[in-house]
Amino acid sequence: MKKPWGGRFTKPTDKAVEAFTASIHYDSRLLEYDIRGSIAHAKMLGKCKIIPPEDAEKIVVGLEQVLSDLQSGKAKFDPSLEDVHMNVETLLAGQIGEVAGKLHTARSRNDQVATDVRLYLKDEIDAAIELIKTLQRTLVQKAKENLDVVMPGYTHMQHAQPVLLSHHLMAYFWMLQRDSERLQDCRKRVDVLPLGSGALAGTPFPIDREFVAKELGFSAISKNSMDAVADRDFIAEFLAACSIIMAHLSRFSEDIILWNSHEFRFIELDDSVTTGSSIMPQKKNPDVAELVRGKTGRVYGDLISLLTTIKGLPMTYNRDLQEDKEPLFDAADTVKSSLGVFSIMLKSAKFNVKRIAEDMHGDFSTATDMADILVMQGYPFRTAHEMTGDLVREFNEDGLGLELLPLKEFQEMVRKVDKKTIQRITDPKASANAKNVPGGTAREQVEKQIEEALQILNSKT
């Protein structure tokens, strides 16, 4: 196939080079955005009388036909035409003849591809934000259902202090909320039109960039043509936001994998989201969580790949920049599918409330409450810490848990403290409910948290 840029060449491209430089096998997914961008550009060329309006009209109709022919399979992409842009232009020429050649007036593939990717990315960001919202709704639902469940809160993977299961779940809500805000913030910088920058210097034609921006739904136009064709910050930002989302999902996965283990048995994952072993009949594996954890690595890889691609590039466009797309597509696909399956897995999960309660027996997770009570009696905290530590050691040696502490005797020691407060030592629920500060794990506070979360989810932005 004759290349649209073939004029100054006397030899055909080497087949290996053709295959090496082609990107159509992945950038074909930009097709709809490429057509939309071209339609807006053609309309502008006609409106500004840079090409005759009737030619612009022919181009627009032709582009719509190219899109439907490619979508229906009537037309096929040709790898010898490098990329989606050249394929569309060539098919357009097949459709409407020589007038198709007017479309590329006042435009370069450099500003064209940057425009396509930005259009694509705005949609991807919106989709990812929706998927985050679905997962957040699932978390709030689970938090609401489990307000009565007290579980061990961990530091260093050791039982630390009792917390509400809802509090633990809501911690992930807020991580995801920041993820969503990061994406929204990144979107502002994606939402800028590069088209009109030409190859790098702008164009001598009297184009109307604002018109194109409006047609394509961009909020602003780029301010510097060199920056516009060289910049891939907006992709790096998106990949960084994706990496953090995956970090959060990976941590959550790790919790779920542990909770699902025989040692914990805190959670029962539904049959529909687990898989069996080909040899061990008893197995029911948490593959979704494991794969989300596993896929985190590749999204980090996508970020590092792009950052490395751009780090040594001189101004402005260099073909290296074609390497921006595969990591971008991979990360967007991976984050979206991970968020999607995570919601499904969490929604059908059942918490083993009885087992969680049993797990707190003899775990000394209320030892801080005991130290606090001694402080209320008047002891300095360090002394109270020491006294409690001594007692924990003794109880531990005798194989006892703090829930067996004879409260009556203890009360003799701490006359200034009322009976109900002392119960925090033997009752994890009382211990959790005592943490009644904003952001604390007391039921009243967790209910407030859920309220606030629902307000966020139900607000329009």
Give the whole-angstrom CA distance, residue 147 versus residue 366: 19
Look up residue 393 and give its two tokens: 């050691």
Q: Does 317 bind ligand ARG (CB under 6 A)?
A: yes
The neighbouring-strand residues paired with 150 are: 164
- Is 361 an annotated catalytic residue? no
Q: Does 109 bind ligand ARG (CB under 6 A)?
A: yes
User: Cβ closer to ligand ARG: 110 or 343?
Assistant: 110
Q: Does 120 bind ligand ARG (CB under 6 A)?
A: no
Give the binding range for ligand ARG (CB under 6 A) out of 12-20, 105-113, 263-271, 409-417: 105-113
Query: For residue 57, which phi and psi values (nearest 5 degrees)?
Result: -60, -45
Give the whole-angstrom CA distance, residue 30 versus residue 111: 14
User: Cβ closer to ligand ARG: 266 or 317?
Assistant: 317
User: Cβ closer to ligand ARG: 317 or 351?
Assistant: 317
In residues, how long is the chain?
461
106 Cβ neighbours under 8 A, 6+ residues apart: 41, 45, 50, 196, 198, 203, 205, 207
Of 25, 219, 277, 361, the active-site residue reads 277
Place of tokens 């009382």: 430
Query: For residue 414, which phi and psi values (nearest 5 degrees)?
Result: -125, 60
- Is 68 an annotated catalytic residue? no
Could you tell me the smallest distance in angstroms from the CB atom of residue 315 to ligand ARG? 14
| List 55, 83, 255, 359, residue binding ligand ARG (CB under 6 A) | 83
Q: Is 113 helix (H, G, I), strand (E, B) or coil?
A: helix
What is the contact mask toward ligand ARG in residues 42 to 81, using x (rule: CB under 6 A)? ----------------------------------------
Q: Does 305 bind ligand ARG (CB under 6 A)?
A: no
236 Cβ neighbours under 8 A, 6+ residues apart: 303, 306, 307, 310
User: Cβ closer to ligand ARG: 83 or 302?
Assistant: 83
Exposure string over 275-303, b if 16+ CB within 10 A, otherwise e: eeeeeeeeeeebbbbeebbebbeebbebb
Look up residue 184 and give its two tokens: 């929204």
414 Cβ neighbours under 8 A, 6+ residues apart: 373, 374, 376, 377, 422
Q: Does 328 bind ligand ARG (CB under 6 A)?
A: no
Q: Does 110 bind ligand ARG (CB under 6 A)?
A: yes
Give the binding range for ligand ARG (CB under 6 A) out of 172-180, 239-247, 319-327, 356-364: 319-327
Q: Does 322 bind ligand ARG (CB under 6 A)?
A: yes
User: Cβ closer to ligand ARG: 33 or 317?
Assistant: 317
Of 73, 70, 103, give the one whose Cα is nearest residue 84. Answer: 70
Look up residue 137 and give its two tokens: 């709704």
What is the contact mask toward ligand ARG in residues 4 to 43, using x (rule: CB under 6 A)? -------------------x---x----------------
Give strand ranges (E) for 36-174: 150-155, 158-164
Q: Does 321 bind ligand ARG (CB under 6 A)?
A: yes
User: Cβ closer to ligand ARG: 252 or 317?
Assistant: 317
User: Cβ closer to ligand ARG: 45 or 86?
Assistant: 86
List binders of ligand ARG among 169-208 (CB under 6 A).
none
Of 43, 35, 30, give the one whose Cα is nearest residue 215. Answer: 43
Could you tell me the smallest distance in angstroms from the CB atom of residue 83 to ligand ARG? 4
Q: Does 90 bind ligand ARG (CB under 6 A)?
A: no
Could you tell me the smallest distance in angstroms from the CB atom of residue 114 to ligand ARG? 9
| List 75, 99, 106, 113, residue binding ligand ARG (CB under 6 A) | 113
Whole-angstrom CA distances from 255 to 150, 201, 439 are 16, 52, 21
Give the binding range for ligand ARG (CB under 6 A) out of 106-114, 329-337, 367-375, 392-400: 106-114
Whole-angstrom CA distances from 208 to 27, 45, 195, 239, 286 are 27, 8, 10, 32, 55
**Is beta strand 158-164 parallel, antiparallel or unpaired with respect to 192-193?**
unpaired
Could you tell me the smallest distance in angstroms from the CB atom of residue 115 to ligand ARG? 11
Of 72, 156, 262, 272, the active-site residue reads 156
User: Cβ closer to ligand ARG: 26 or 174?
Assistant: 26
User: Cβ closer to ligand ARG: 24 or 247?
Assistant: 24
Handedness of CA 81, 84, 90, 91 (dihedral sign): positive
Look up residue 126 and give its two tokens: 């919106």
Give the binding range for ligand ARG (CB under 6 A) out of 162-170, 314-322, 361-369, 378-386: 314-322
Give the whole-angstrom CA distance, residue 411 versus residue 390: 18
Could you tell me the smallest distance in angstroms from the CB atom of residue 112 to ligand ARG? 7
Give the whole-angstrom CA distance, residue 98 versus residue 173: 56
Could you tell me the smallest distance in angstroms from the CB atom of residue 314 to ligand ARG? 14
> Which residues here bind ligand ARG, judged by CB under 6 A?
23, 27, 83, 109-110, 113, 317, 319, 321-322
Active site residues: 156, 277
